[in-house]
C-alpha cells in the first residue's frame, strides 16, 4: 500500500512539471508574436522622401537619402532630374543672347564686289554673288570717299527688270579727317584745258612750290572724262601730285 502511494506521488510530480513546462513555452510564443510588430520601423524610411530638393546636384543628394525608404526614395530622385531640366533651359537663354550679340555686330554696308557696279547698269537679284546694298568709291580718287548702290526693280535697262542705282541711295561721304584744302572753289576756277583731262590719267603742272593746284572746271559745262567713257562730265578737277583728279559737282568735297 505504501509503495502504491509513492508511485502515485511520483507520477503526480512528473505531471506537474510537464504542465509547468507547457505554461512557460506558451508564454514565450505570445511574446514573440508581439515582437513581429517591429516591422513598423520601415515607416521611418518615408521621412527621407520629404528631403526632396529642386535643382541640380542637391536634388540627387535627396534621392540618395530616400533610397533607405525604398520606392519612395525614387520619387525624390525624379524631382532632382526636373531641377536639372530647368538649368538646361537657362543655358538656352544664354545662347539666344549670343545670337543677339552676333546680329548686333553687322555694322555698316559691305563694299561692292569688284568690278564696282555702274549706275544704271543691269543687275540680277537671283544671283548669290549680287551684294546689295553695298558701297563703292566715289568723289576724288584715292580720297577714301564711299557712296551706296543698290540693285532695284527698274526699267532703265532694256530687257532687264532690275538695275543698279548709285545716284539716289545716298550721298558720297568723305572719311572723317579728310583734308579738303586742295579742293576749295574760291576764287572760282578757270575752265579745264582742251582736250579735256582724263581723271587720274592726264598730267598737269602743280602751282609752284605746292603739291596741289591749280583747279579747273564748271558747275554747268562738261569739264573732264573718265577712263571708261569719253562723254564729258560736269564737275571740277584739281591738279594733285601732277595728275588731274576730277569729280562731279555732287561728289566734289564739301566747301567748309
- The rounded percent of the chain whose pLDDT value lies above 70 is 58
Question: Is pLDDT above 60 for 170?
Answer: yes
d(CA 231, CA 215): 20
Query: Considering Cα of 251, then 175, then 208, then 241, what sign does the dihedral take?
Result: negative
Please give the pLDDT value at position 183. 96
Beta bridge partner(s), residue 147: 136
Mean pLDDT of 137-165: 94
Q: Which three cell numbers stand for residue 164?
A: 543698279
Tens-place pLDDT, residues 31-59: 333 333 334 333 333 333 333 333 333 33
Closest CA to 252 of 178, 165, 193, 166: 178
Q: Are 157 and 120 in contact (CB under 8 A)?
A: yes
- Say how many C-beta atoms besides its own lie within 10 A of residue 152's C-beta: 17
Please give the model's pTM, rounded to 2 decimal places: 0.55
Beta bridge partner(s), residue 239: 244
Cis omega before residue 195 (within 30°)? yes
d(CA 119, CA 34): 105
* C-alpha R_g of the chain: 51
Mean pLDDT of 62-82: 35
Please give the pLDDT value at position 75. 36
Half-sphere exposure of 31 toward its Cβ, with a 13 Å CA cutoff?
6
C-alpha dihedral (252, 253, 254, 256), degrees to nearest 10 = -140
- Say how many C-beta atoms besides its own lie within 10 A of residue 138's C-beta: 23
Mean pLDDT of 245-251: 96
Q: Look at the chain and count its residues.
A: 256
d(CA 158, CA 156): 6
Q: Which three cell numbers stand for residue 169?
A: 541711295
Cα–Cα distances in angstroms (integers) from residue 114 to residues 111, 117, 124, 137, 256, in the given order: 9, 8, 15, 11, 32
Question: Is pLDDT above 50 for 219?
Answer: yes
Tens-place pLDDT, residues 76-98: 333 333 333 333 333 333 333 32
Which residues, 6+ apart, have CB-to-CB distance to 40 below 8 Å? Answer: none
More confidently predicted of 30 and 179: 179
Amino acid at each position: 500500500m505504501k509503495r502504491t502511494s509513492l508511485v502515485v506521488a511520483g507520477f503526480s510530480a512528473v505531471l506537474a512539471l510537464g504542465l509547468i513546462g507547457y505554461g512557460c513555452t506558451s508564454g514565450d510564443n505570445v511574446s514573440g508574436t508581439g515582437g513581429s510588430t517591429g516591422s513598423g520601423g520601415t515607416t521611418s524610411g518615408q521621412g527621407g522622401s520629404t528631403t526632396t530638393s529642386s535643382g541640380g546636384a542637391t536634388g540627387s543628394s535627396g534621392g540618395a537619402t530616400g533610397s533607405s525608404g525604398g520606392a519612395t526614395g525614387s520619387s525624390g530622385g525624379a524631382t532632382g532630374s526636373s531641377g536639372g531640366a530647368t538649368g538646361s533651359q537657362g543655358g538656352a537663354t544664354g545662347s539666344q543672347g549670343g545670337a543677339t550679340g552676333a546680329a548686333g555686330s553687322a555694322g555698316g554696308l559691305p563694299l561692292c564686289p569688284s568690278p564696282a557696279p555702274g549706275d544704271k547698269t543691269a543687275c540680277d537679284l537671283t544671283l548669290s554673288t549680287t551684294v546689295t546694298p553695298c558701297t563703292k568709291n566715289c568723289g576724288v580718287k584715292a580720297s577714301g570717299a564711299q557712296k551706296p548702290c543698290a540693285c532695284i526693280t527698274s526699267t532703265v535697262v532694256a530687257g532687264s527688270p532690275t538695275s543698279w542705282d548709285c545716284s539716289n541711295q545716298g550721298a558720297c561721304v568723305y572719311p572723317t579727317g579728310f583734308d579738303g584744302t586742295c579742293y576749295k572753289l574760291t576764287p572760282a576756277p578757270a575752265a579745264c584745258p582742251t582736250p579735256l583731262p582724263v581723271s587720274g590719267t592726264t598730267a598737269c603742272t602743280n602751282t609752284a612750290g605746292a603739291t596741289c593746284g591749280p583747279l579747273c572746271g564748271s558747275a554747268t559745262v562738261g569739264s573732264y572724262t573718265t577712263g571708261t567713257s569719253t562723254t564729258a562730265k560736269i564737275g571740277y578737277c584739281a591738279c594733285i601730285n601732277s595728275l588731274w583728279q576730277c569729280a562731279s559737282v555732287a561728289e566734289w568735297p564739301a566747301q567748309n
